[in-house]
Amino acid sequence: MRGPRFVAALLFVAMMILFLIANRGAYEGYFQDDELDNLAWTPYTSLGTFAREALSPQLSPVNFRPVGHMYFRVLSAAAGLRFTWYVAGIHALHFMNVWLLYLLARRLEADRVTSAAAAIFFAFHMALFDAYWKPMYVFDVLCALFSLLSIHAWIRRRWLISFLCFWLAFKSKEVAVMLPAVLVCYEYWLGERKWKPLVAFLAASLVMGLQGVFLNRGAENAYALHFTPASLWSAIRFYSSQVLLASYAGLALLALPFVVRRKRVWFGMAMAVLTLIPMLLLTNRLYSAYLYVPMAGLALAFPPIVTRRARIIAAAAFLLWIPFNYNRLRAERRTALTIAHENRAYVEQVGKAIAGDRSVRTYICDGAPSAMNRWGVEGAIRHFTGPVELHIYWIEDGGFEKAFSEENIATLVWDRQQRRLRTVRKSAGSPEASYIAMDSAVPVWQLTSGWYSNEETYRWIAPRAAARLYRPDGAQRFELTVNAGSMLLADAGKSVVEILLNGRAAGRAEFARAGTQTVSFPLSPAPAGNVEVEFRAAPAYHPRGDPRVLGIAIAGFGFR
């Protein structure tokens, strides 16, 4: 006769198999912004730096989390850009957390059935989808792992091991700053009220918490803390709508400790609420995967609720929850794979472009995958170039004057429609173009300010834009081709464009008809040489749902 432990292990293996089947699409995914950024620098950071940061009581001002970042350092050395390894790693860590959660529920005197149900709820909850699919959330997964280990060690009265795990949890992610408060709740409600060992935990938590507050005071960035009622409510509204996959449904759970007068329920809810508090202050970064650690506490609160009388109701609720959860999985999976396919195409082509010319140290980025931010693009470039000094510019920023002094320049032009990267290179001493068409060979370094990313055959400018052209000997006219959009004309009525050459008026054109149109202006005789071209478009166009302020879309311009 097989014992209960064997049955539990068998069921756990079955759970892992089902999880991998449901989330098999994760292995078809690809790196995103934060992951590419981490892969750009972690392989070249010394082990001594990791060790110092891991031991230091000082909070890193640049969000260096040595435990989580070590994950990227180790895997980058072992797997390079083979994404499946990174997903397999977070899945293995997730399974460890599920098992630890089950054991903790059992240690809190829940029976096997309800402990398994709590573990399954945590294992498959689609609010945590990103933590299962995206290695960037390994920080949350590792934080949960060491937090659960710390609680286990605390219950067994292994004070030193518990503190070490708490420290590693904090060095994985700062949400663990609330773990000592969780241990206080355990000791008060379920323990022997031995407070002396908690002094070190609380002191470390206080020091780290105060550093976090003072480092973020007056800052306005993605990690800035906000304490206003409006910002707190926005975070509460977001996370409460993720917990049970319905708007504000999570707020109803706050009544559980008052309705169910069981200390183990109180402990689970306390862990959920306390570990969520730091996330409520980060209103610039609202992501459902940040519920990973709080969800473990919430799962622990469920077993004491499910008495023998309530099991039928609980089973019915569980069965109703499954289709909601699965629908969320389908939607999230579709979005994630769409993003992954474009990111993979971009990064692989960047690698080929950089391998084609190792002498380039200046890059101008013209467009990017729809879901990839700048730090992801720059991370991809730096990953392939290695630890060398680079100059990376963006077409929207302009300011390429410094780039002109570089010997070799490469422009990375991304075509979102074709998912194709075109590379345009400028070698030392190569002449400037006299006419620029907005095609795949556009010399972006000559578009000095006020230009946006390429859109197939045209490019929007700001109300004021500038470029640099070479005027050939004998040039008689200046030509401009625009794509006057119907939406622009519907809002503004017409668009007027003025052209200045070296600060002098060269022509003025009015566009009141939609479509592609070309105008030409005669030129007075002038010597050959580089010319500064300025475009002034009025009125300014504010498209709906677009933060940009636009002038007009230009398809080509230059000397004829």
| Cα–Cα nearest to 329, from 144, 124, 159 | 124
User: CA-CA distance, 149 to 548, in Å (whole number)?
Assistant: 49
Residue 207: how many other CB atoms lie within 10 Å: 14
Same domain, 203 and 62: yes
Please indicate, yes or no, if residue 408 is contained in any of the structural domains: no
CA distances from 2 to 7, 9, 12, 273, 324 (A): 7, 11, 15, 39, 36
Total domain count, the chain: 2
What confidence tier does 2 reach under pLDDT thresholds 50, 70, 90? low
Measure the N-to-C terminal CA separation of the chain; round to a whole number of Å.
92
Cβ-Cβ contacts under 8 Å for 121 (sequence gap 6 or more): 299, 302, 318
Rounded Cα distance, 159 and 191, in Å: 14
**Is 402 within a domain?**
no
60 in the same domain as 202: yes
Mean pLDDT value across residues 418-422: 91
pLDDT value at 139 more than 80: yes
Please give the residue that has the higher pLDDT: either 11 or 479.
479
What is the phi/psi pair of residue 394, to 5°? -120, 140
* Per-residue H/E/C for 8-36: HHHHHHHHHHHHHHHCHHHHHCCCCHHHH
Answer yes or no: do 206 and 66 share one domain.
yes
Unique residue bearing structure tokens 């309800």: 114
The answer to the question of residue 342 being in a domain is: no
| Band of pLDDT at residue 1, cut at 50, 70 and 90 | very low
pLDDT at position 334 over 70: yes
Indicate whether 461 belongs to any domain.
yes
Domain residues for 272? 7-306
Task: Answer for the pair 501, 478: CB distance below 8 angstroms, yes or no.
Answer: yes
**pLDDT tens per residue, range 26-40:** 999 999 999 999 999
* Domain stops at, among 265, 289, 306: 306
pTM above 0.85, yes or no: yes
The proportion of the chain whose per-residue pLDDT surpasses 90, expressed as a percent, equals 69
Are 97 and 237 members of one domain? yes
Query: Quick check: helix, strand or coil at residue 390?
Result: coil
Cα angle: 551, vertex 557, 559; to 5 degrees: 145
Residues 6 or more apart in contact with residue 35 via CB below 8 angstroms: 72, 86, 134, 135, 136, 376, 379
pLDDT of residue 359: 85
Query: For the domain that residue 488 is a member of, what is the CATH number?
Result: 2.60.120.260
pLDDT on residue 313: 74
Q: Evaluate whether residue 376 is within a structural domain.
A: no
Please tell me the distance from the alpha carbon of residue 288 to that of residue 243, in angstroms, as a whole number. 8
Task: For residues 402-427, give the mean pLDDT.
Answer: 82
Question: Above 70 in pLDDT, residue 404?
Answer: no
Residue 485 lies in a domain: yes
